[in-house]
Amino acid sequence: MKALTFSRFGGPEVLEYRELPDPQPAPDEVLVRTRAIGLNFADVYRRQGRYHLRGTPPYVAGYEASGVVERAPAGCGWQAGDRVAFADSPFANAELVVVPAERLIALPDDVSFETAAAVLLQGLTAQFLTRDSHAVRAGETVLVHAAAGGVGLLLVQLARAAGARVLGLTSSAAKADQARQAGAHEVLLYGSDWVTGALGWSEKGVDVVYDSVGATLPRSFEAVRTGGQVVFYGMAGGNPPLVDPRMLMDTSKTLTGGDLWNVLRTAEDRRQRGAELFAHLRAGRLRVQVAARFALAEGARAHALLESRQSSGKVLLLP
């Protein structure tokens, strides 16, 4: 099979499209032929050596894809030809992937392979961030970093659907328009004094900030009200500075981390949350935006685009 690999850490130039032996599934695993693969910032972090990474060189990144079951063990609940997707199984940047049977999610006929790969991991992330990390309520004020990014656009939509007032942060006027189209009530640019802007927009500070940038964490705390909450779930702009617990105590503010791996614990978790996500799509509460599609062989170009922060929406790799 062909796969997108890297044998050393660094920039997009370390990626190599190469032939690897076909993976051999264990008795509890299913062999999936991928049709569409979701590219995420976690894959950038892995390529840079900044995030947990499975296997040995040549490494194969990727945790999210959709496709068709190629081979499945008897009695596992899956059979050849089933349309499936997954959001939390490694080595997805390849034509063939072995996935534990319990981690597969059935893909309904009315959800395309590209839509599934574009929405599953980021959609499940936005879902638990607005439901588990901080349960967004009607009337709350919510600040979303990178509001025109993959997760950001979905966060804006889910927070708006919950009845919150949403303030987005983006890096350009074009991205600001995209965040507004997703439902943001107002959008500020990173080049502006966005903390002052957020305080003015919300009067006393927003109720919750969703921060996927990392380096912006101190300013996110400035923008949140006394007693408010910051949800940290990404490092697109670099590692966050250390947080002084005295500041948390003195301001009664809360810092919460968010990681999808701690939410998808069982096969039932995946089925229920996946079904809820697809229901959001059908009801029109979520719209998926694909920023770009690249052949898997052009993975270096896809990484460069994502890392440039010039894309809005999801970047897909197509085997």
Place of tokens 């799509």: 281
Cα–Cα–Cα angle for 284, 286, 289, nearest 5°? 115
pTM for the full predicted model: 0.86
pLDDT value, residue 50: 84
Domain with CATH 3.90.180.10 in the chain: 2-120+264-318
Report the C-alpha gap between 130 and 227 in whole angstroms.
Answer: 18
- Give helix then strand counts, H and E, for the chain: 9, 16
**pLDDT in single tens digits along all 319 residues of the chain:** 999 999 999 999 999 999 999 999 999 999 999 999 999 888 998 999 988 888 999 999 999 999 999 999 988 989 999 999 999 899 999 999 999 999 999 999 999 999 999 999 999 999 999 999 999 999 999 999 999 988 999 999 999 999 999 999 999 999 999 999 999 999 999 999 999 999 999 989 999 999 999 999 999 999 999 999 999 998 888 889 999 999 999 999 999 998 888 888 899 999 999 999 999 999 888 999 898 999 999 999 999 998 887 777 789 999 9
pLDDT value, residue 264: 85
User: Per CATH, the architecture of 2-120+264-318 is what?
Assistant: Alpha-Beta Complex (3.90)
Question: Which top CATH class is 138-257?
Answer: alpha beta
pLDDT value, residue 313: 75
Q: What is the pLDDT of residues 61-73, one digit of tens each?
A: 999 999 999 999 9
Burial class (CB in 10 A: 0-12, 13-18, 19+), 194: buried
Domain with CATH 3.40.50.720 in the chain: 138-257
pLDDT value, residue 226: 97
Phi, psi of 277 (to 5 degrees): -65, -45
Ordered alpha helix ranges (H), the chain: 41-48, 113-128, 150-161, 173-182, 194-202, 217-223, 245-251, 267-283, 299-308
Report the C-alpha gap between 301 and 23 in whole angstroms.
Answer: 26
